[in-house]
Structure 1
Amino acid sequence: MASTTDMAAAEPAPLHKHPYHLVDPSPWPLIGSFAGGALVLGIILLAHYGIHWMLYLGIIGVLSTMFFWWRDVIREAHTPGMHTPVVRIGLRYGMTLFIASEVMFFVAFFWAYFHFALYPNHVAGAEVAIWPPKGVLTFDPFGLPFLNTMILLLSGCTVTWAHHGLLNGDRKTLIQGLALTVVLGASFTFFQAVEYMEAPFKFTGGIYPSTFFLATGFHGFHVLVGTTFLLVCLIRAMKGHFTPERHFGFEAAAWYWHFVDVVWLFLFVCIYWWGAGEIAEH
């Protein structure tokens, strides 16, 4: 067991007389606010007037803000005395609350889906109160959806394997596990794109396509975000940023990825399997 002196040497003293986090002056909150406003305004201008440049400006501004702000956070993590144990607890609380907010985000889509699935007589213009609505052909749940389920479940195993390697100081296992997880995440996105191209219904085809594409589409977006998150962790792992004692950036990515896995399981069971109707032929 490490002595008190060894533990004190391993944990740098805070830069201030207290262990809390004092944010340095940063331009990114202000720039991010303007970039977010430009993005929303760009969507409005594109939708109503066909003007593109404001949308492009907003996208570039938001992505640039994300990149440079997170770059500064990573630099803070490598500054001795900045990310004290108290600060790291705060980061954990922040990530936990963020994932909780994401849970409620998807609850809204499931609520909409089950409202019409359990009360199909509420579907406007429906001739027969059934779900899926009459004339809607659905996916075979044990085709591409089941393949994607296996891919995500396997990716949950590989990211856990990477975490195990990190905790045991095995950098090779960490890198291999993260690389496999990134590949599996990209594979899921590819197969979901194929599924969308083969979809027997369009987004504007009524309430079923709307709820389907909103729920699975936003999940697909979260898979893209999670894959990018893990890719950044892979690059950081290759640079030796993580240690068995200090690796919250990786933990946050793993939490987020497991959340994405769980949401997909609910989507597969509720929408693809339980909500399946007449299967479309491919």
Structure 2
Amino acid sequence: MVDALVTDAPLPVGSAGRNSTAWFGMLCLIATEGSLFAYLLFSYAYFGAQNSADWLPTLHPSFKYGLPGTLVLFSSSATIWWSERGMKRGARGQHLIGLIATILLGLTFIVLELLDWRDKGFSLSSRAYGSFYFTITGFHLLHVIVGVSVLMVVLGWSLAGYFTQRRHMHVTISGVYWHFVDVVWIFVFSTFFLAPYVIAL
């Protein structure tokens, strides 16, 4: 009988490539959450189609916080992509810098969104538009908070040396989720900030 080979090398962390169950789990999560956002935005559009433009609080919403928040999220997509690229190339410093930058940009977006809420002249229960606005943007903000929390965990694991060039599926999965959050914001921003200007034409 051949004796078992015993080594002191650490066991691999996670699957290599897209054979991980977590990868397919994330795709299912994105499909589910994407459908929910689609239902919410469709409900808003349907309700708006049943009413005249005067149901909107203003036909010219302010871009004071919405536009900077959008630029921040777009920038964060670039930094998380750069971070993952660094991990794939074995450039640990690039990976960590990109990850930290993404987290900081995510926190910046959260602050900007809260400031935008503070400046609104309506509340969740004051009118139908307010209910839609705070429900949809609040649901998106919750996803951003979850995304930032996940990235913080990934950062901790990265600092602990859990990932390698070959095994870094958690980095990829967290990046995919973050891109999803950014894509959803494009639709939310277009609905609440850009569409009223089109209606006013």
Q: TM-score, normalised by structure 2?
A: 0.87
Work out the CA distance in 1 between the residues paired with 2:36 and 2:67: 24
Structure 1 stretch 150-159 or stretch 111-120: which is displaced more?
Answer: 111-120
Flag structure 2 segments of 5+ consecutive residues without an equivalent: 1-8
Bigger Rg, structure 1 or 2: 1
Aligned to 1:111: 42
Aligned CA RMSD, in angstroms, stands at 2.5
**Identity among equivalent pairs (%):** 28
Give secondary structure in 2 for the equivalent of 1:240: coil
Report deviation, 1:89: 3.3
Q: Secondary structure at the match of 2:61?
A: coil
Matched, 1:274 2:184: no
Structure 1 gaps, min length 5: 1-77, 121-129
Native 8 Å contact 1:141 1:273 kept in 2: no
CA drift at 1:95:
1.2
Q: Partner amino acid for 1:114?
A: A
Query: Are the structure 2 counterparts of residues 166 and 86 from structure 1 closer, same or farther at C-alpha, using a change threshold of 3 Å?
Result: closer
Question: How far has the Cα of 1:85 moved from its partner?
Answer: 5.5
CA distance in 1 between counterparts of 2:118 and 2:198 reads 19
Q: Deviations over 1:220-255 (max 9, x none)?
A: 010000001111111111111111111111111101
Q: Displacement of 1:271 after TM fit?
A: 1.6
State the SS of the aligned residue for 1:116. helix
Which of structures 1 and 2 has the larger relative contact order (alpha carbons within 8 angstroms, sep 6+)?
Answer: 2
Distance 1:85 1:162, change over 3 A: closer
TM-score by length of 1: 0.63
> Equivalents in 2 of 1:110, 1:156: separation in Å?
23
Q: Offset at 1:132?
A: 4.8
Q: Give the Cα–Cα distance (whole angstroms) in 2 for the partners of residues 213 and 81 of structure 1.
A: 43
1:97 to 10, 14, 28: 28
Match for 1:215 among 136, 143, 154? 136
In structure 2, distance between residues paired with 1:254 and 1:87: 14
Structure 2: distance between partners of 1:226 and 1:119: 35
